[in-house]
Amino acid sequence: MDRYPPIAEHGLIGDLQTTALVTTDGTIDWWCTPRFDSPSVFGALLDHDNGGRFRIGPEGNDYVARQLYFPDTAILITRFLTPEGVGEVIDFMPIDDPDRASDRHRLVRVVRCVRGQLRFGFACAPRFDYGRQPHELELTDEGAVFHTPTLQLTLHGAGHRAIQRDGNDLRGELTVRAGQAGGLVLESAAPGPPRTTVPEELLDSFNETARFWRGWLARSTYRGRWREQVDRSAITLKLLDASPQVGDRTA
């Protein structure tokens, strides 16, 4: 079971056109892009050895993890409590236009230290088309690009100082102290080359995503005692339904 965490040990994020699953150890072990029914990019949920994954989490196993959602949103927080401190990985997918299909999708992963000091390990190992399609890696000073004949993924915000090549995959580590934060953005159909992400950009993206979800949820007319559970169910249905009208009826 350590190789295949139960579905209850996952959080769900998405942008209404595709979704990703994040385990309580900070691993994205399922993501298809650009659509729900597209071939997988990360599929360790089905094949631990060959499916592919994207992990950001503490080094070692001496930690306790908890997952929660930023209130009234689909922004997932995976919190790690260690003897050295408390840190978080904040995952979400920005929504550019909820009514128009696009090939551009972004996985935003923000690393933050709340108390003390934490060393996070990083590993990005995509396996395209359920592991059947090989890829090439181009590493730059500001990130990296994974190339296949049918899909290109761009990693923004990390260069040679933070990551290193591991075959055609990436590995690295990052140490953050209380009050410090950084982040990575993995993007499909990026309009340009890799670039450095700055905290202000990540914060703006976080705020815009939170604003979308809270604005959508504000249309709900339910005011009963189970408001929190109903709202969370509505967000989940909205994420998993490729037809926006169904989610709107739920609210």
**pLDDT, tens digit, for every residue of 4-17?**
999 999 999 999 99
pLDDT at 248: 42
CB atoms within 10 A of CB 204: 12
Task: For residues 145 and 243, give the distance between their C-alpha atoms in angstroms, rounded to a whole number.
Answer: 31
pLDDT at 247: 37
Identify which of 128, 109, 104 has the alpha carbon closest to the alpha carbon of residue 190: 104
When pLDDT is averaged across residues 102-107 and rounded to a whole number, the result is 96
Q: State both tokens at 133.
A: 């399609």
pLDDT at 37: 93
Task: For residues 70 and 163, give the distance between their C-alpha atoms in angstroms, rounded to a whole number.
Answer: 29
pLDDT at 198: 86
pLDDT, tens only, 43-69: 999 999 999 999 999 988 899 999 999
Domains and CATH numbers, the chain: 7-250 (2.70.98)
pLDDT, tens only, 156-199: 986 556 789 999 999 998 889 999 998 999 999 999 999 988 88
pLDDT at 208: 97
Highest mean pLDDT among 73-87, 95-109, 189-203: 73-87
Contacts of 115 (CB under 8 A, 6+ apart): 85, 86, 178
For residue 116, list its beta bridge partners: 85
pLDDT bucket at 210, cuts 50 / 70 / 90: very high
Identify which of 207, 234, 220 has the alpha carbon closest to the alpha carbon of residue 95: 207
Q: In this model, does residue 249 exceed pLDDT 60?
A: no
| Residue-by-residue DSSP string for 104-147 | -EEEEEEEEEEEEEEEEEEEEE--HHHHTB--EEEE-SSEEEEE
pLDDT at 244: 43
pLDDT, tens only, 120-156: 999 999 999 999 999 999 999 889 999 999 999 999 9
Q: State both tokens at 11.
A: 């959080």
Q: Regarding predicted confidence, which is higher, 243 or 21?
A: 21
CB distance 75 to 206 below 8 Å? yes
CB atoms within 10 A of CB 168: 14
Q: Tokens 């730059």 map to which residue?
A: 140
